[in-house]
């Protein structure tokens, strides 16, 4: 009995010593709330200039971080490449050009530009402008006909295309798009439906935009209540052209679109380029195919080189929009720049090495992807906070900091766009959030009322209340920390 009483005294002393009065009371109140008391909660808050710990609770518990994992990969990319780095996509030919005819093949060589043909990244070429640039380069070379084919070379990256731990329900949908060294249009297509005239009726497939040659659907999509939104799922695997559709789309609109992952982006790229050339009078006799074996290309047969916007623009979108595809592609680049094969495993090895040299204990860290979509990722709250403290002294800090989300800013998406609006924190906090079913995570920086900048991380797993309630609880806690420190 004395031993138990002593342990209780020690715990009470530790909590009282770790937190100030108002913060202590708030954490105690949160810890016993219905829906949270049986959850796992890790919390870590530190001054960025000194690294002094202000608040900590279960900061060394291994927890599922969801999308806040992207702060690691985006910072690593900035450190290894630099904010102004640009990825390159190149177009080569092989063979000879005689009287307007190319007796040979065209090769589109992917340099791992995630932004090619995207509307999400400032400075990126649009989908149509990419193909216009490529086509114009052929015309400048005097190529009016191609006896060979169009080949897509995505050999910069290799290995498994997507992590084996991603959920079957996710694969095939836009947020689980396949990371390729030759990507286009964010590797996404829109799938349009005509809803039924009644709830429970079958929703009819109309079309895909852009058109994906050969893609077929087994359609079980139903029509849900009016205003019910997108609850549709596309079940498919990379390189598979028979997708299964399940779930519901809302009653009411004449047509409704959900977004899917292009099954094979490099082949789609080559096929669309061939179609684009034909529409502009350049006939291609051969097929659109993928390069199966890595090739060497002659510099004097380079037709055009398309450069991406600066890396900082890509990082901006990766964190602001929590864009999974970009994080996964950047991870594979880390492997390549460090002389390893451009695959998932090598990228994760490089990432953990980067973290270990930047204030992070990786001894128990488990990483399965770069985007946080896998539920097998486990990271400590203190891992994130320690890294954010370290990042404060980096040359690229401003670009990294500005890629986080300010609640209410133009372009902010998801639940975080409303976080702490109308409070002191509205103009004093930058956040990267993460969410999966039963996971809510926040990391970033905020300024206290005493004009001190702090780094913070809060990760909650297996809660059983509404996610919006978690947001309100975290807002109130951070406000009290801002007031006290």
53 and 137 housed in the same domain: no
Structural domain tally of the chain?
Answer: 3
Mean pLDDT of the chain: 94
SS3 call for 378: strand
Report the pLDDT value the prediction gives residue 17, as an integer from 0 to 100: 36
Residue pLDDT, tens place only, 232-248? 999 999 999 999 999 99
Residue 34 lies in a domain: yes
290 and 245 housed in the same domain: no
Residue 167 lies in a domain: no
111 and 223 housed in the same domain: no
Residue 40 lies in a domain: yes
Give Cα 269 to chain centroid, integer Å.
Answer: 21
Report the pLDDT value the prediction gives residue 415, as an integer from 0 to 100: 78
Mean pLDDT, to the nearest integer, of 184-194?
Answer: 98
Residue 414 lies in a domain: yes
424 and 317 housed in the same domain: yes
Residue pLDDT, tens place only, 293-350? 888 999 999 999 999 999 999 999 999 999 999 999 999 999 998 888 899 999 999 9
Mean pLDDT, to the nearest integer, of 77-86?
Answer: 98
290 and 356 housed in the same domain: no
Torsion of CA 420, 425, 429, 434, to 10 degrees: -20
96 and 116 housed in the same domain: yes
Tally of residues, the chain: 485
* Domain that includes residue 127, residue range: 88-159+267-309
**Does residue 345 contact residue 159 with C-beta atoms inside 8 Å?**
yes
pLDDT band of 21, cuts 50, 70, 90? confident
461 and 349 housed in the same domain: yes
Of the candidates 135, 149, 152, the one whose C-alpha atom is nearest the C-alpha of residue 103 is 149
Instruction: With a cut of 60, say whether residue 9 has pLDDT above it.
Output: no
Report the pLDDT value the prediction gives residue 20, as an integer from 0 to 100: 53
Report the pLDDT value the prediction gives residue 266, as an integer from 0 to 100: 98
Residue 461 lies in a domain: yes
40 and 25 housed in the same domain: yes
Residue pLDDT, tens place only, 376-393? 999 999 999 999 999 999
CA distances from 239 to 264, 312, 325 (A): 5, 31, 17
Residue 92 is part of a domain; what is its CATH number?
3.50.80.20
pTM for this entry? 0.94
CA distances from 117 to 121, 208, 294, 307 (A): 9, 17, 24, 12
Residue 410 lies in a domain: yes
């Amino acid at each position: 009995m004395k031993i138990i009483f002593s342990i209780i005294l020690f715990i009470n002393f530790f909590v009282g010593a770790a937190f100030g009065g108002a913060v202590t009371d708030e954490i105690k109140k949160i810890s016993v709330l219905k829906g949270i008391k049986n959850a796992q909660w890790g919390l870590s808050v530190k001054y960025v200039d000194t690294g002094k710990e202000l608040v900590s609770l279960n900061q060394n518990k291994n927890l599922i971080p969801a999308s806040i994992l992207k702060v690691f990969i985006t910072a690593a990319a900035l450190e290894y490449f630099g904010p102004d780095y640009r990825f390159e996509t190149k177009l080569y030919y092989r063979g000879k050009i005689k009287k307007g005819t190319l007796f040979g093949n065209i090769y589109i060589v992917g340099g791992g530009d995630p932004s090619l043909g995207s509307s999400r990244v400032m400075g990126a070429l649009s989908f149509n402008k990419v193909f216009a640039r490529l086509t114009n380069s052929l015309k400048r070379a005097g190529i009016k006909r191609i006896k060979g084919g169009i080949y897509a070379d995505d050999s910069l990256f290799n290995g498994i295309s997507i992590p084996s731990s991603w959920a079957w329900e996710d694969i095939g949908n836009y947020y689980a798009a396949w990371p390729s060294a030759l990507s286009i249009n964010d590797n996404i297509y829109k799938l349009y439906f005509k809803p039924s005239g009644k709830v429970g009726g079958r929703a009819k497939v109309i079309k895909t935009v852009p058109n994906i040659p050969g893609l077929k659907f087994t359609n079980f999509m139903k029509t849900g209540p009016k205003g019910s939104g997108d609850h549709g799922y596309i079940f498919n695997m990379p390189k598979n052209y028979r997708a299964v559709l399940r779930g519901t789309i809302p009653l009411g609109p004449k047509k409704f679109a959900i977004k899917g992952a292009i099954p094979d982006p490099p082949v789609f790229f080559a096929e669309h380029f061939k179609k684009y050339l034909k529409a502009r009078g350049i006939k291609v006799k051969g097929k659109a195919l993928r390069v199966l074996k890595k090739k060497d290309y002659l510099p004097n047969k380079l037709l055009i080189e398309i450069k991406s916007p600066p890396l900082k623009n890509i990082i901006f979108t990766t964190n602001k929009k929590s864009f999974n595809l970009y994080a996964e592609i950047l991870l594979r680049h880390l492997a390549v720049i460090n002389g390893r094969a451009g695959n998932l495993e090598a990228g994760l090895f490089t990432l953990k090495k980067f973290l270990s040299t930047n204030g992070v204990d990786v001894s128990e860290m488990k990483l399965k992807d770069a985007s946080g979509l896998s539920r097998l990722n486990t990271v400590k709250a203190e891992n994130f906070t320690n890294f954010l403290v370290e990042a404060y002294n980096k040359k690229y800090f401003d670009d990294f900091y500005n890629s986080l989300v300010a609640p209410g800013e133009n372009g902010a998406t998801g639940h975080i766009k409303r976080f702490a609006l109308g409070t002191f924190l509205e103009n004093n906090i930058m956040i990267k959030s993460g969410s999966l079913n039963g996971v809510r995570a926040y990391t970033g920086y905020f300024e206290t009322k005493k004009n001190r900048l702090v780094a913070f991380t809060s990760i909650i797993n297996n809660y059983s209340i509404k996610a919006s309630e978690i947001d309100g609880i975290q807002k109130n806690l951070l406000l009290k920390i801002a007031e006290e420190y």
